[in-house]
Amino acid sequence: MPTTRKTKTKDGSKAAKTTKKGTRSGTSGTGEARTVIPRTYSTVVRHLLERTNYERVRVVNYDEKTFKLDRMRKLLKRLGDPHLQVRTIHVAGTVGKGSTVSMLSSMIEGCGFTVGTFTSPHLVEVTERICINGEPIEQAAFTKLMREVIREAEKSDKNITYFELLTAAALKHFADEAIDLAIMEVGLGGRLDSTNVITPEVTVLTRIELDHVRILGSSLEAIAAEKAGIMKPGVPCFSVPQHPAAAAVLRKKAEEVGCELKIISDDIEFSSRFCVADDLGPHTRICLITDSNQYMHLPVPLPGEHQAVNCAVSLSAINHLKESEPGLVDTNLYRGLSRTSIPGRMEMVWQQPRIIVDGAHNPVALTALMRGMGSHIPYDSMICIFGCCEDKDVDTMLDNLAMGGDKIIFTAAENQARAIDPQELKQRYMAKRGKVCQTARNIGQALEIAASAASRDDLICVTGSFYLVGDTKVHLAKLKAQRGKAGS
């Protein structure tokens, strides 16, 4: 609990000083609030969590008064304008952003370039959001970096948010490390997102669907308009195939902005097929024909047929970069692509019983997961542990969950205000499907229930929320450590 004591200011007057473990704040002689910069990794994380975080709050006013790009530019100016020193690729969309970022990064790194990635959310540690060549920034370096960013933020605008601080930190880190290219993933929407201060080499749009409807709008057209906000004059944009309504909005915006837009299948010849091979097992292959290159029968490195378009749009963006980067050689691109992996997406995290985690957080992603599991992973029956946020299309997600789940256990991520109550999920599922299901108070209990019901050839799948996936990985890491101690 905070404690209050009296301290003397420089002019000898008394001022109240509230202290918490690891952080201190007080008032200056002018009566203005003063924040003491956190010193350790844990206190930096605590400081960030005390900032406004739109990833976790229930209600967000999505407008220029809340999301201020000028506030972001002002902070970056104090940091030396790092966004002007780094070459970037900008990625927006509803689903597939993380996979697309990973494939882009792997291909470019495979050609010997140093690549930074800024992604969200993280699963376990916030440092996962800022990576260079796939490696998260070290905690000591993150602490030093955030101390500088927080210090300048206090001088710039005390209302700077959690995500804005991290965006600024990522750009500063990439500039300091003199990387060759940074891939920046939009956090929310696009038009007003704090990453939209950059002028990228190329922009990429993944699948646009109805998500965050309370914030971005209740129609595909409205959401597409927000995503299209990352388009810049003279900067080419590549998009996966879109719903006709979304595609129309994108084309209109591109014409208004003066941006060349190319949509896979419409403007770039594309095809895909599912196959099974001795060396790769079940996988998808794509063919992509651009104005300058042909990519034929290329294996998609990530499981699920839905990854084909993400791979295609990544290749299209790379193909454009090849015009000015002779170091992007096809042989190395293919080798880099084959090494792509992404935590929290169809990731096997435990072997006995088999546990897979996937942060499928909307109906489209959940449908893709259920289909991908059936195509890529053999099992007798699947036990699904599910939890999601209340602002999602919950009823549709429950229908999609039933596509693959033979037994359902509902739970909720910890410390997530937007998480829907497991009992409500149970009631809604039983009303819709008429099937028996269970609830658990947390992921630990849910995994215990699932493990007790799983036979040797069954599969446990944790899905519905990246936060729930993160809780799962933390819980299993602790369990593994406990078993290690017991066996020593």
Residue 481 neighbours by CB distance under 10 Å: 10
Question: What pLDDT score does 63 carry?
Answer: 66
- Count of structural domains within the chain: 3
Same domain, 318 and 422: no
Same domain, 23 and 117: no
d(CA 108, CA 478): 35
For residue 9, what pLDDT band results from cuts at 50, 70 and 90?
very low
For residue 481, what pLDDT band results from cuts at 50, 70 and 90?
confident
Q: What is the pLDDT of residues 439-453, one digit of tens each?
A: 999 999 999 999 999
418: domain CATH number is: 3.90.190.20
Same domain, 234 and 100: yes
Question: What pLDDT score does 471 carry?
Answer: 96
Q: Average per-residue pLDDT in the chain?
A: 89
Identify whether 59 is part of a domain: no
Same domain, 267 and 220: yes
Q: Considering Cα of 134, then 138, then 141, then 142, what sign does the dihedral take?
A: positive
Same domain, 78 and 212: yes
Q: What is the pLDDT of residues 120-170, one digit of tens each?
A: 999 999 999 999 999 999 999 999 999 999 999 999 888 899 999 999 999
d(CA 445, CA 467): 16
Q: What is the pTM of this model?
A: 0.88
Please say if the pLDDT value at position 284 is more than 60. yes
Chain-centroid distance, C-alpha 478: 24
The letter for the amino acid at 399 is D
Please say if the pLDDT value at position 24 is more than 60. no
Question: What pLDDT score does 418 carry?
Answer: 84
Same domain, 194 and 243: yes
Averaged pLDDT, 302-314: 94
Question: What pLDDT score does 488 carry?
Answer: 58
Question: What pLDDT score does 33 carry?
Answer: 55
DSSP helix/strand/coil, 300: coil
DSSP helix/strand/coil, 473: helix
Query: Which range marks the domain in which residue 116 is found?
Result: 69-338
Q: What is the pLDDT of residues 405-462, one digit of tens each?
A: 899 999 999 988 889 999 999 999 999 888 889 999 999 999 999 999 999 999 999 9
Q: Which of 286, 313, 338 is the last residue of a domain?
A: 338
74: domain CATH number is: 3.40.1190.10
SS3 content of the chain, % helix, strand, coil (to 5): 40, 20, 40
Chain-centroid distance, C-alpha 58: 19
Residue 279 neighbours by CB distance under 10 Å: 6
Run of H or E including 333: helix 330-338
Same domain, 353 and 469: yes
Same domain, 323 and 356: no
Averaged pLDDT, 374-387: 92
Please say if the pLDDT value at position 230 is more than 60. yes
Identify whether 329 is part of a domain: yes
Please say if the pLDDT value at position 30 is more than 70. no
Sequence-separated (6 or more) residues with CB below 8 Å from residue 194: 67, 69, 72, 161, 163, 164, 167, 168, 187
Same domain, 150 and 241: yes
Same domain, 282 and 386: no
User: Do 85 and 311 contact (CB within 8 A), yes or no?
Assistant: no
The letter for the amino acid at 103 is M
Identify whether 57 is part of a domain: no
User: Do 349 and 426 contact (CB within 8 A), yes or no?
Assistant: no
User: Do 239 and 288 contact (CB within 8 A), yes or no?
Assistant: no
Would you state the structure tokens that stand for residue 373, as one six-digit string? 């599991």
Averaged pLDDT, 93-118: 97
Sheet holding 354-358, edge to edge: 347-350, 354-358, 459-463, 382-386, 407-410, 438-439
Q: What is the pLDDT of residues 237-272, one digit of tens each?
A: 999 999 999 999 999 999 999 999 999 999 999 999
Identify whether 43 is part of a domain: no
Please say if the pLDDT value at position 18 is more than 60. no
Question: What pLDDT score does 7 carry?
Answer: 40
Q: Which of 338, 358, 373 is the last residue of a domain?
A: 338
Same domain, 378 and 285: no
Please say if the pLDDT value at position 486 is more than 60. yes
Averaged pLDDT, 466-476: 95
d(CA 121, CA 194): 15
Same domain, 129 and 270: yes
Would you state the structure tokens that stand for residue 465, as one six-digit string? 């929320």
The letter for the amino acid at 86 is V
Q: Which of 338, 359, 381 is the last residue of a domain?
A: 338
Identify whether 153 is part of a domain: yes
Identify whether 53 is part of a domain: no
